[in-house]
Amino acid sequence: MSKPYVLVVDDEPDIRALVKEILEDEGCEVRVAQDGEHARAALRERDPDLVLLDIWMPDIDGISFFKQNLALQQPKIPVIVMSGHGTVETAVEATRLGAYAFLEKPLSLNKLLPAVEGALAAAKTDAAPDKAAARRATLEAQLIGKSALMQHLREQIGRLAQYDMPVLLLGESGSGKGAAARYLHALSGRKGKPFVELRLAALPEASFEVMLFGQEEGAQITPGAFERAAGGTLYLANVEVLPAPLQARLVNVIRNGSLVRVRGVQEIKTSVRLVSSTRVDLAGLVEEGEFHQDLYHGLKGAVIAMPPLREHVEDVPDLLNFFVDALVVKQNLPYRHFPLPVQNRLRNYQWPGNVRELVNLVRQLLISASLEEIALEEVEALLKPALPSADNFLHEMFARPLREARDYFEKAYLEYHLQQEGGSVGRVAKIAGVERTHLYRKMRALGVEMKPGK
């Protein structure tokens, strides 16, 4: 399968270049356009899998371009709208037209990347009742591993799939909560209906309500995620970020068993299987008054704990084989072999970034060299960035002029936290307290190795 093809439309050269570089690092093929005219030419040549569209352009505004060239003519292409002058009205209009997400500038990479990933996944889910698409969806929903933990997990999900109760998935970032949600849907009686995934952390808060519940303007109704998932499964990732008013509204939907919309004198009810996930302690948030108690109990009709990879490392060889095959087929990457010493080394690694870290490691190794067999030295270089000892580090830093000492410290600081966080730039950005876009620039300026974000 070819790489996802993304069209980025923005009049700012720096934004175009930055987004292109980041998405190419994520395995996408990217074309850029600086205005509506060039974007229309790109659309005539080839249909993209996703469009990132700026609101303000020199020849046409993004909303008008969306209406004229995408919403009516090519409605199946997902669109992420970007704006440096974000307002609730603009977000609502974009989502009314069918935009997958609305992102405010300056772009936050920990929102951009999940939004891109979600839009591409949603397009696959919505696109096809055909058998090939069904096979792809089943492949994506697999939970790989022969360990007792994974067998128990599959059995637990299989039992719960028979019932329509809400399910709450708990687990660390990268532990496979999205795959578990798809697996649950694939085994349920709703498997022939839509699976809709909404990654709440990737959305601006102003668009939450419209994306979840839709919007009515007179006789015109823009469906939200509940209605797009009608009869199927709605998966809400990062449910902890929901603001209080929407938490209360979601409580009412769960109590009613459906989303009710009145059209004239007729009530239209939309029923879905609700699956949600979080990596934080929701019970603790309830105690602190930060999360609605009734919503917490409503979401956890059943609870599934996703094990971190370090607790079932015996599954690493199977995961390696699965993701090598998937990346070779889906992203056209060259095949490389993981010999037994490499597999054993990876089984003895702690995987702080879980399965997501393993996928990114496999991707880096497939594209990093021409030799078919992967060497242990390559793996060690990716798992353990060289860091100076404490004594040598202080000596080196204090021996430098102030500006060089600051750069030396910042480089070591970022390399250390990248190692601790399994290469996750998003988590390092949170630890450092900086925007991910700024962190990418800082890493580039300091010569810190750029790795695919998570």
Q: What is the pTM of this model?
A: 0.57
Amino acid at 284: G
- CA 310 – CA 354 distance, rounded (Å): 7
CA 41 from chain centre, in angstroms, equals: 29
Radius of gyration of the chain (CA): 23
Could you report the per-residue pLDDT of 150-207, keeping only the tens digit for each? 999 999 998 999 888 999 999 988 899 999 999 999 889 898 899 999 888 777 777 8
Structure tokens at 327: 């990346």
- CA 107 – CA 103 distance, rounded (Å): 7
Q: 């603001």: which residue's tokens? A: 243
Cα–Cα distances (Å) from 107 to 19, 115, 116, 292, 450, in that order, read 9, 12, 13, 30, 18
3-state secondary structure 264-292: CCEEEEECCEEEEEECCCHHHHHHCCCCC
Listed in sequence order, the DSSP H helices in 223-270 are: 225-228, 244-256
Cα–Cα distances (Å) from 258 to 35, 220, 231, 236, 268, in that order, read 43, 21, 10, 16, 9
Can you spell out the DSSP letters for 288-335?
TTSS-HHHHHHH-SEEEEPPPGGG-GGGHHHHHHHHHHHHHHHS-PPP
Can you spell out the DSSP letters for 91-144?
HHHHHHHT-SEEEESSPPHHHHHHHHHHHHHHHHHHH--SHHHHHHHHHHT---
Structure tokens at 235: 């998966």
- CA 13 – CA 352 distance, rounded (Å): 36
Cα–Cα nearest to 294, from 282, 306, 303 = 282
- CA 27 – CA 194 distance, rounded (Å): 26
- CA 38 – CA 42 distance, rounded (Å): 6
- CA 384 – CA 418 distance, rounded (Å): 10
pLDDT tens for the chain, 454 residues long, are 578 999 999 999 989 999 999 999 889 999 999 999 899 889 888 889 999 999 888 888 888 888 777 865 666 789 998 887 655 567 666 766 778 878 888 887 777 888 888 888 777 655 443 333 433 343 344 688 889 999 999 999 989 998 889 999 999 888 999 999 999 998 898 988 999 998 887 777 778 888 888 877 665 667 888 888 888 999 999 898 888 899 998 988 888 776 666 454 455 667 889 999 998 888 888 988 889 999 999 999 999 999 999 999 999 999 998 888 888 877 778 889 999 999 999 999 989 889 988 988 998 898 876 788 999 999 998 885 544 556 667 766 777 777 778 888 888 888 888 877 767 777 888 888 887 767 877 786 777 765 433 3
- CA 393 – CA 412 distance, rounded (Å): 9
Structure tokens at 277: 């996930």
- CA 356 – CA 309 distance, rounded (Å): 10
Dihedral, 282, 288, 293, 297 alpha carbons, nearest 10: 30
